[in-house]
Structure 1
Amino acid sequence: MRRRAGKRTTTRTNRKRGRYIKARPARDRLDDIAFDATLRAAAPHQIHRQDDDLAVSIRREEVQRKVRVRRTSNLILFVVDASWSMAASERMEATKGAILGLLMDAYQKRDHVGMVVFQRNRARVVLPPTNSVELARKALEEVPVGGKTPLSSGLYTAFEIVERERRRNPEVVPLVVLLTDGAGNVSMGSMPPQQEALQVARLYKEHHIPAVVVNTEHEAFDRGLAQQLADEMGAECLKLKDFSPDALTSLVHRYTR
């Protein structure tokens, strides 16, 4: 369970680290006993117990275990369609500005921001998760656009990054921000591109990865593909015109804090 405290995300942890906030019945878990709470639970019953050789008589059902919370890090991962289209440059500039703005906010925290672009035949990690503004600025200076749209590769690459970060730190709070019109035309395998992309998108819902899809299709030509992709991911779908550094910061705070 994650809770919000001030500007940082906190999450309950089963490790013996973190701030002790309360206690609950230990049941079969006796590895992090809350002795103060256990004594309080047993105290009212001492007058009725005849264990003369014990200073305090404690029954198993009175044993309490500590509930701890730790401050966690957030991972915001941008996944951007860099294939050739009229909106490609607009997408890229909006994303660069949003990433740098977000990193300024995350600089003194433990938040990390990364970026995956997909174009031609595959996805590339152009910015591994970092909280360094300078590294991000250098990595984002020259991100080429053009080529086909390997949407499923972009989705799967981002999925792997999130799962890898979760293995390293099970308490990380991820958010994937996908900028696309929802149309893919390159497959990783033998499935039709669009079908494959929807199949990969379902992994996000199955693995409980929070995500937001920013629909880059012009409203007059919108085929509903981005919304369909968002539905499969279990994600919110926004319009590109609503995507700005300020809007992104509010969005990230809503999902991760």
Structure 2
Amino acid sequence: MIRKQGGRRSRTKTEQARGRYVQARPTPGKAFDLAFDATIRAAAPYQRNRSEQRRRVAFAVKPADYMRKVRVRRAANLVLFLVDASWSMAVAERMAATKGAILSLLTDAYQRRDRVGLIVFQKDRATLVLPPTNSVQLAQRALSEIPVGGKTPLPAGLQMSLEVLHRESTLHPEVQPLLIVLTDGAGNVSMGHMSPQDESNMLADLLAEEKIHSVVVNMEHAAFDQGLAQVLADHLQAPCYTITDLKAENLYQTVRNEMSAIGTVSMGGIGAK
């Protein structure tokens, strides 16, 4: 793939004193990363009323006038795939499309500094098959053999997604996370005493509260669809796509579109409200 421009893909606001200064915001009493031009403009209307202070200085500025710079930086994306690897008629197509999309994303990750990870869930557990990486070689090795078959522990997959994203936000505070969930939404293995459906909805609500941008790809055949993938998407506050003819390029383009959608989201790290 040939890109018209290099560098990181998404733009994000940053709390650090780095990045392009785009505007200013009031910061009374706090002198960190002051926007001097905006601070002077804020203080200008009060100069006549500050005659006592202006006996000592030519231009009187008070802490209440302080304006802080709002900066933006290019931020890397973290695309975490959560894939239902339980037995179904579509499992082969699902895995082929997922592998192809991951490798396609990684092909240009070195330019954009994006990172891609993969969690699969099947039988009674979720497995981090590919920890977040931008290494095509590591991905190829990890994707060569992925176990399939068994039941559908969807809650375990959502729980592991939360854990991975929390860990990544600690290591990379300005990362832009995107969770791609490929499933029919029909979880049938729970982690505790709740029903699998209730557990899945609860964990999806937590992901939504953490402001994780998510996408659900409904892998159920239209003739058998019970609407469970849409229910999951509603709890995640995420769009739900149905890709009947699932191919790697379709999934790759869907992911790219969603990455563009979060390009201007302000991130303070996962857990920030």
> Do residues 225 (structure 1) and 228 (structure 2) align?
yes
Deviation at 1:164, TM superposition (A): 1.7
1:60/1:117 CA distance change after superposition, 3 Å:
same
Report Cα offsets for 1:28-72 as digits up to 9, x if no partner: 332222223323444565567532221322233332222222221
1:133/1:69 CA distance change after superposition, 3 Å:
same
Whole-Å Cα distance in 2 between the matches of residues 228 and 15 of structure 1? 38
Alignment-derived partner of residue 16 in structure 2? 15
Among 183, 190, 210, the alignment partner of 1:207 is 210
> Do residues 130 (structure 1) and 133 (structure 2) align?
yes
Whole-Å Cα distance in 1 between the matches of residues 61 and 29 of structure 2? 15
1:14/1:242 CA distance change after superposition, 3 Å:
farther
Deviation at 1:254, TM superposition (A): 2.8
Q: Is the 8 A contact 2:79 2:178 kept in 1?
A: yes
**Bigger shift: residues 31-40 or 112-121:** 31-40
Report Cα offsets for 1:171-222 as digits up to 9, x if no partner: 2111100011111111111222222222212111221111111111100011
Whole-Å Cα distance in 1 between the matches of residues 259 and 61 of structure 2? 47
Q: Is the 8 A contact 1:107 1:133 kept in 2?
A: no
Whole-Å Cα distance in 2 between the matches of residues 248 and 66 of structure 1? 32
Q: Aligned residues, how many?
A: 252
Amino acid at match of 1:150: P
Superposition RMSD in Å: 2.1
1:182/1:44 CA distance change after superposition, 3 Å:
closer
- For 1:188, what is the secondary structure of its paired residue? coil
1:256/1:58 CA distance change after superposition, 3 Å:
closer
Q: For residues 15-164 of structure 1, what are the structure 2 equivalents within 5 Å?
A: 15-43=16-44, 46=47, 49-50=50-51, 51-164=54-167
In structure 2, the gaps of 5 or more residues are 1-6, 265-273
- For 2:112, what is the secondary structure of its paired residue? coil
Whole-Å Cα distance in 1 between the matches of residues 201 and 184 of structure 2? 13
Higher RCO, 1 or 2 (CA under 8 Å, sep at least 6)?
2
Amino acid at match of 1:144: P
Whole-Å Cα distance in 1 between the matches of residues 93 and 263 of structure 2? 26
**Bigger shift: residues 177-186 or 195-204:** 195-204
> Identity of paired residues, percent?
55
Whole-Å Cα distance in 1 between the matches of residues 29 and 15 of structure 2? 14
1:194/1:25 CA distance change after superposition, 3 Å:
closer
Whole-Å Cα distance in 2 between the matches of residues 195 and 26 of structure 1? 43
